[in-house]
Chains A and B, each alone.
Chain A
Amino acid sequence: MIELEDLAKHFGDVKAVDGITLTVPKGEFFCVLGPNAAGKTTTIKLMVGLIRPDRGAARVAGYDIQAQPLEARARLAYVPDFPFLYDKLTPWEFLRFTGQLFRMPDRRIEEVASDLVPRFNLEPWLHKPIESLSHGTRQRVAIASALLHDPEVFVIDEPMVGLDPHHARVVKDTLRERARRGMTVFLSTHQTSVAQELADRVGIIHRGKLVAVGTAAELHARAGTDGALERAFLAITEGEQETVPETVG
């Protein structure tokens, strides 16, 4: 599970994250939406320990990411919007490397990889240098390697960027299936359709604050809209635009 408690982060005068409190229980598929520069990526960076909060705490699978970083990270997987890969390695070498970073025995790595590789259609590129792969294939390599150690919490930023419809479907199905098996998924996206399709609950971050949380139906009820989640999102963020004082530069 993920627990964010009064999380706050400033960049100079700019309040990037302003007191976010949220609990995402085990096995929940949580999507976070928000306009550009709303604070989504900063929230994720705080959650995975890339930066320290000015205030509050983030706990992953019961471990404080700042106080017990190794325990928390061992149970966490994070895929940023532009993931880092070693260009001179092959996808197979990268998968093994990632598994070893997570202290997985070689046999276990091969076992899990033998499921993930065909699922993400990586066989044709498995032994080719990563530098020769397309953006979409690199994204699939990153997602497969993040899933390798069977994380309890999976955090992903804009997962569909560069993926064709077929592989986007594979990613969605895999994440849903893992969530059903108990993995907590925290997905940040601009695509309201993805959130509507996949999420158990959706959070909307705007100007550093978590301005709404709930199921699609609950968000519609709050916004007084129906149909596509996009309408609720626009209504809520536009409403906040009028009421929230200017804080983000």
Chain B
Amino acid sequence: MNATESPLGLLVRVNALSAWRRVLGLRQQSRLLVAVIGGFLVGYLAFAFLLFRLGLAFIGRFPGLGSLLVERLLFLLFAFLFGLLLLSNLVICYTNFFRNRETAFLITAPVPISAVFQWKCIESTLLASWAFLFLIAPLLAAYGQLNRVPWHFYPATLGLVLLFVVLPGIGGAALAIFVARWLDRRAFQIAAVTGVAVVLALLAFHLRPEPASDEVLEARVQSVIDRLLVNTGFAQSPLLPSYWLSACVLNLAEGAVKAAGFYALVLLSHVLFLGRLALIGLGGPFYGAANTVQSRASAFSRWGWWQRLEARNLSTAAEIRRLWLAPAGPGESCGAAAHFGPVDRLDRVLRWAGLATDVRALVAKDLRVFWRDTTQWGQTVLLFGLLAVYILNLRHFTRQLDSAFWIGLVSYLNLAACALNVATITTRFVFPQFSLEGRRVWLVGLAPLGLVRVVLLKFWLAGATSLCLTLGLTLMSGHLLGLEWQRQLYFGVAVTVMTFTLNAIAVGLGAIHPNFRETNPSKIVSGFGGTFCLVLSFFYILASVIALAMGSPWGWRGEETGPVKPMVGWAVFVLLSVLSGWVPLRIGLRRVATTEL
């Protein structure tokens, strides 16, 4: 480092050094765990490569239309990934620009505001895009291998993908500045959720399944494929950056170097033009937006309808206090004391159920924190919303799902999908709970309730809450598949056990691998313990669903099965659940009892 280095270069260098040291920090972790996680990552790449290869080969064999369908799939995939990247960049840029202590530190240093913006933009794009690269690498490798592409396809594609991720990065940064400047945080949250809902609704309408009779499927395949291609034609709009990337990759694979070069240059010119425009032109608006975010009062206080709702809540609270709790005291006039919301209503129910005051207080606190953290409920709604949309769409296919094999397969896959969603949520939100609570040990940890019971309570609360979603979706899936009540009960019990096991993994490992220094839950999760939690959860789900499916009491070809196979399957499932869930939870609770905070 030297004094003449540009501020941007200095920031990149210092942050790269910090990131490298985080990687080196892995040496302090258990070798076994590092090997397990490393093995999982390599295993994912290999498994995904294999699946993509099989899938692409299967589609490619479609008579007369194979290559067309594969092409369309690539266009669609990149178009959707572009949309997801844009959303991901918007969220990460907003947090990284306006809720970040490094930004505040740099704004007071003699660093040009454009350099601060440039660094934050680069950092956000990297944070938002690495998973994208990880996701598509096996797909492109499989596509390349099937098409026997020359070696230069792979480095060229890597370069193109790196260029491509710049565009949603710039778009996300510009959008983040726009929403920060013009939308209040809560208004932004509402607008974002509404926007996602509208997009989902539009997609659901545009891509709605069209019921097709067996006759149509057999006799008019061409017509069905035509409609499929028409409905997905939007992905081939030449105005979409994903189109340039897809066209370039496809041409490159076919050896049409000139056409590939044309699309690569289109991509490059847009990256250079928009990148230059953003990096030199958005520094000022970035500072203005940061100032606006810091200067803003709550939008709720400006909205008449909200104030009326608040007033109604206050009067309800006063009425309830008068009738049920206590006569009006001096605190009655205080808005905060008199506020009576849905959590207070639940608290009343729990009180009647006989729960102790401290337990109810903790439940109310956790529910309020969940509700006020848009990230938590937003991601939960998105994940389970998408799953619900998929399960609801099953009704369109039930005519085709008439064989025992397909019904069995879909019901077990639905069980796995539900469990995978729970695993994502528990790792992201339940795992960091103990670390965050440890920081508040002066209050919660030293309360008469005791930290062990606090952790146990979190386990039951998270388990019960997630069970509402998983059990509901599983029963809905069973109903739409037309399963008899015995099968519904079977899957209901299985998903209940899996939900509590996954929560036990997250709570237990969260207590075994706490991080009391970090205040940001997403950073706690991205550490070693969080990654291990996710890996263990995935292995557990995979092994459990295989065990249950292999021991299915309903034969895969409609045949009768004896009692031995189901019993063995369930024995393996229960054993897996105990080993994966109960053991970490037990060790975690012991650790909590003896931990020095």
Contacts and interface: CB of A to CB of B under 8 A. Distances in A.
Nearest to A102: B110
A9 B297 CA distance: 12
Interface residues of A, number: 39
Contacts of B7: 101
B17 A93 contact: yes
Contact of A48 (B2, B101, B108): B108
Contact of B109 (A9, A10, A101): A101
Interface stretch (B45-53, B68-76, B288-296, B475-483): B288-296
A50 B14 contact: no
A239 interface: no
A241 to B, nearest CB: 19
Contact of A129 (B21, B105, B109): B21
A43 to B, nearest CB: 14
A40 interface: no
Interface in B1-46: 1-3, 5, 7, 10, 14-15, 17-19, 21-22
Nearest to B109: A101
A106 B1 CA distance: 8
A67 interface: no
A100 interface: yes
A70 interface: yes
Interface string A135-148: 00000000000000
Nearest to B288: A52
Contact of A106 (B2, B288, B295): B2
A99 B1 CA distance: 11
Interface in A95-121: 96-106
B18 A84 contact: no
Contacts of A51: 291, 294-295
Contacts of A9: 295
Contacts, number: 86
B319 interface: no
B18 A74 contact: no
A50 B104 contact: yes
Given A51-B295, A101-B110, A84 B14 contact: no
Interface residues of B, number: 34
B57 to A, nearest CB: 45
B111 interface: yes
B295 A100 contact: no
Interface string A7-33: 001111110000000000000000000
A12 B18 contact: no
B107 interface: yes
B18 A88 contact: yes
B104 A84 contact: yes
B520 to A, nearest CB: 12
Contact of A73 (B109, B301, B517): B109
B302 interface: yes
B10 A11 contact: no
A104 B10 CA distance: 13
A247 to B, nearest CB: 14
A69 interface: yes
B108 A73 contact: yes
A76 B296 CA distance: 26
Contacts of B2: 100, 106
B3 A12 contact: no
A186 interface: no
A89 B295 contact: no
Contact of B297 (A13, A105, A106): A13
B455 interface: no
A101 B105 CA distance: 11
Nearest to A47: B108
Contacts of B296: 11-12
Given A84-B105, A86-B18, A89-B14, A96 B297 contact: no
A154 B297 CA distance: 30
Interface string B300-341: 011000000000000000000000000000000000000000
B297 A14 contact: yes
Nearest to B104: A50
Contacts of B17: 88-89, 93
B113 interface: yes
B226 interface: no
Nearest to B293: A51
Contact of B3 (A45, A86, A88, A106): A106
Contacts of A233: none
A50 B294 contact: yes
B101 A84 contact: yes
B107 A49 contact: yes
Contacts of B3: 99-100, 103-106
B14 A97 contact: yes
A142 to B, nearest CB: 10
A87 interface: yes
Contacts of A98: 109
B110 A88 contact: no
A69 to B, nearest CB: 7
B562 interface: no
Contacts of A131: 517
Residue from A49, A88, A96 having most chain B Cβ neighbours under 10 A: A88
18 contacts: A9-B295, A11-B296, A11-B297, A49-B107, A50-B108, A51-B295, A73-B108, A74-B110, A76-B108, A84-B101, A84-B105, A89-B18, A93-B14, A99-B3, A100-B2, A102-B110, A105-B3, A129-B21
Smallest CB-CB A-B distances: 10 pairs: A12-B297, A88-B18, A84-B105, A74-B110, A73-B110, A84-B101, A88-B21, A52-B291, A78-B108, A105-B3
Interface of B: 1-3, 5, 7, 10, 14-15, 17-19, 21-22, 101-102, 104-105, 107-113, 288, 291, 294-298, 301-302, 517
Given A101-B110, A106-B1, 16 more contacts: A11-B296, A45-B294, A50-B294, A51-B291, A51-B295, A52-B295, A73-B109, A74-B110, A78-B108, A84-B102, A84-B105, A93-B14, A100-B3, A100-B5, A103-B110, A105-B3
